[in-house]
Amino acid sequence: NGSVAPPHVAMLVTPGMGHLIPLAELAKRLASRHGATATLLTFASTASATQRAFLASLPPAVSSRALPPVDLSDLPRGAAIETLMSEECARSVPALTGILRDLRRTTRLVAFVADLFGADSFDAARAAGVARRYIFFPTNLHVLTLLLHLPELDASVPGEFRDLAEPLRLPGCVPIPGPDVLMPLQDKSNPCYKWMVHHGAKYREADAILVNSFDAVEPGPAKILRQPAPGNPAVFPIGPLIQADRGGSDDGPCPCLEWLDRQPARSVIFVSFGSGGALPAEQMRELALGLELSGQRFLWVVRSPSDEGAVNDNYYDAESKKDPFAYLPEGFVERTRAVGLVVPSWAPQIKVLAHGATGGFLTHCGWNSVLESLVYGVPMVAWPLYAEQRQNAAMLSEGVGAAIRVPESKGREKIAAAVREVMQGEGRGAAVRAKVAELQKAAAEGLREGGAAAAALAEVVEKWTCGEN
Ligand code: UDP
């Protein structure tokens, strides 16, 4: 019946391109494969130029709407980003309720989806009478397992996680050493810890949780979470969802890609720390000297050191404030000119990873970066910074074996050794390269029609659209 409106999904995006990109990708997939339309609801605090341009590039089936600004000025200076996002969401519940009522009137609204810091918005969905409430979890099943267990861990683990004598063992998961446990859980006196416990408890109100991961990269927790258990929401691994290569003519020529065109196949290590990551000045220096010492070709996205501009600043608008080149060792750019390219602030990461000259990725292990690397079959050197990145690094290096982790001391020799091993090593490096090739295949198979991820999403859409009233 052509007169029936398409099913519509409202999606709440908490701040950060790392949340927006996969959620937008999910919306696009719902549109292209399932004939749905979607509205992305964003917070006023992240109305950056980068975000606006991104939202403007989405297809007509995916619209967006910004929530009105809320006052956060009473929060202490230096509040954790997780606290800011959680507070902004909780304080937006009244406005969100109004918008969802509106969408119920004007569209065939079948479900509400909030991302990982947005669970408080379920109160708005309930008040607006939206029957189906889902979480979209943009990171992985290991982190999800931790958050689902957090209310009970909060009661049973005395002291700080970083002081645990034994690694944290959770069902199906790679044991996580205490200091590698999710950063916002590392100081129980910080309000962001309480927020995370709150979110973990709140996830149980979800009808189901959609996760941007796939079984092959973390088979242990996938097996556990796929089994229905009383009191646990159903979990659907629907990944890897990464930004489809835009390749539009609007991009213009890119010096990185032109440079890569001139390099031999699989010879370059790409070095980047996500949309907000920056190193302390001393580590930035060791990394420069380590890359030089490795003798490998490299493409490095440099940012001003983190002790100069807060991580939060970078995170919220993705542009370095100062000239990052000023922090490189004397003569470094000249000495490495024949083998390396250093670009400030930003590179088209997906195109770089997809390029045939790229053979390795030194990454902060942000989950989007990890998925992009796996989709394009690029083995990783893990150099985690914050959020869940240390946990991701542990799981990738000690678990599935898709990365080699740079030792904590971060000296130039150790950096050079890890880079060389991933690019050319015969032992551990060869095993990592083989594993990544295997995961690349598994990821592609899952997304194909009838594959595990495609089937999981189809099952969710079926739930959304059958038995509507
Ligand atoms: N990104 C990019 N160019 C850059 C840095 C980041 O295109 O120079 C993209 C990257 O491809 C990924 C996202 O920004 O999609 C970063 O997300 P991730 O989860 O890896 O890290 P976060 O930015 O959340 O720390």
Would the CB of 349 count as within 6 Å of ligand 1? Answer: yes
Kindly report each contact of residues 164-171 with a partner whose C-beta sits within 8 Å and lies 24 or more positions away, as own/partner. 170/142, 170/145, 170/146, 170/221, 171/145, 171/221, 171/224
pLDDT of residue 310: 44
pLDDT at 316 exceeding the cut of 80: no
- Supply φ then ψ for residue 22, to 5 degrees: -65, -35
pLDDT at site 247: 47
Model pLDDT for residues 267-286, shown as the tens digit of each residue: 999 999 998 889 999 999 99
Confidence of residue 318 (pLDDT cuts 50, 70, 90): very low
Of all protein residues, the one whose alpha carbon is nearest to atom 24 of ligand 1 is 18
Q: Are 14 and 43 contacting, i.e. CB atoms less than 8 angstroms apart? A: yes
Given pLDDT bands bounded at 50, 70 and 90, which one contains residue 230?
confident
CA–CA distance, 386 with 350 (Å, rounded to integer)? 22
Please determine, for residue 257, whether its predicted confidence score (pLDDT) is greater than 50. yes
Q: How far is the CA of 75 from the centre of ligand 1 (A)?
A: 27
β-strand pairing of 37-42 with 297-302: unpaired
Q: Are 446 and 432 in contact (CB under 8 A)?
A: no
With beta carbons less than 8 A apart as the criterion, state whether 209 and 235 touch: yes
350 lines ligand 1 (CB under 6 A): yes
The rounded distance, in Å, linking the Cα atoms of 152 and 143 is: 15
Q: What is the pLDDT of residue 313?
A: 47
- pLDDT value at 320 more than 60: no
3-state helix, strand, coil in the chain (%, to 5): 50, 15, 35
Atom 8 (ligand 1) nearest CA: 346
- 314 pLDDT more than 60: no
Question: What is the reported pLDDT for 312?
Answer: 46
264 secondary structure, DSSP code: P
pLDDT of residue 116: 94
129-139 burial string, b = 16+ CB within 10 Å, else e? ebebbbbbbbb
Q: What is the pTM of this model?
A: 0.94
Is 19 a residue of the active site? Answer: yes
Distance 159 CA to ligand 1 centre (A): 33
Model pLDDT for residues 196-208, shown as the tens digit of each residue: 999 999 999 999 9
**% of the chain with per-residue pLDDT over 90:** 86
- Residue 214, pLDDT > 50, answer yes
Q: Give yes or no for residue 373 CB within 6 A of ligand 1.
A: no
Instruction: List pLDDT tens digits, range 34-72.
Output: 999 999 999 987 778 888 999 999 999 999 999 999 999
Taking the CA of residue 365 as reference, the ligand 1 atom at the shortest distance is 20
Predicted local distance difference test score (pLDDT) of residue 86: 95
- Best mutation site among 17, 85, 306, 312 for ligand 1 pocket (most ligand atoms within 8 Å of CB): 17
Nearest ligand 1 atom, CA 21:
15
Ligand 1 centre from 260 Cα, in Å?
19
368 lines ligand 1 (CB under 6 A): yes
Ligand 1 center to residue 347 CA distance, Å?
9
Confidence of residue 16 (pLDDT cuts 50, 70, 90): confident
Residue in 19, 199, 355, 364 annotated catalytic = 19
Neighbours of 278 (CB within 10 A): 28
Checking if the pLDDT of 1 tops 80, the result is no
| Residue 365, pLDDT above cutoff 60 | yes
Q: Choosing from 34, 74, 115, 198, which is the catalytic residue?
A: 115
Rounded average pLDDT over 407-425 = 97
Q: Does 355 participate in catalysis according to the annotation?
A: no
pLDDT at 321: 57
Would you say the CB of residue 239 lies under 6 angstroms from ligand 1?
no
Ligand 1 mean position, distance from CA 275 (Å): 5
Mean pLDDT confidence for 209-233: 94
CB of 291 closer than 6 A to ligand 1? no
Confidence of residue 233 (pLDDT cuts 50, 70, 90): very high
Nearest atom in ligand 1 to 386's CA: 25
pLDDT of residue 2: 55
Cα of 363 vs centre of ligand 1, distance in Å, is 10
**18 pocket-lining for ligand 1 (C-beta < 6 Å):** yes
Pocket test for ligand 1, best of 57, 117, 275, 371 (most atoms within 8 A of CB): 275
Q: Does the Cβ of 346 fall within 6 Å of ligand 1? A: yes
Q: How far apart are CA 311 and CA 386, in angstroms?
A: 9
Cβ–Cβ < 8 Å for 127, 95: no
Atom of ligand 1 nearest to the CA of 372: 11
Task: Tell whether ligand 1 has an atom less than 6 A from the beta carbon of residue 367.
Answer: yes
pLDDT (0 to 100) of residue 244: 80
- Pocket lining: 272 vs ligand 1, CB cutoff 6 Å: yes
Ligand 1 nearest atom to the CA of residue 369, by list position: 20
Q: Is the pLDDT of residue 307 over 90?
A: no
Mutate to test the pocket of ligand 1, among 50, 343, 349 (most ligand atoms within 8 A of CB): 349
In eight-state DSSP terms, residue 338 is T
Whether residue 437 has pLDDT greater than 80: yes
Quote the ligand 1 centre to 417 CA distance (angstroms). Answer: 25
Q: Using one digit for the tens of pLDDT, what is the confidence trace for 119-162?
A: 999 999 999 999 999 999 999 999 999 999 999 999 999 999 99
Over the chain, what is the mean pLDDT? 93
Res 401 pLDDT > 80: yes
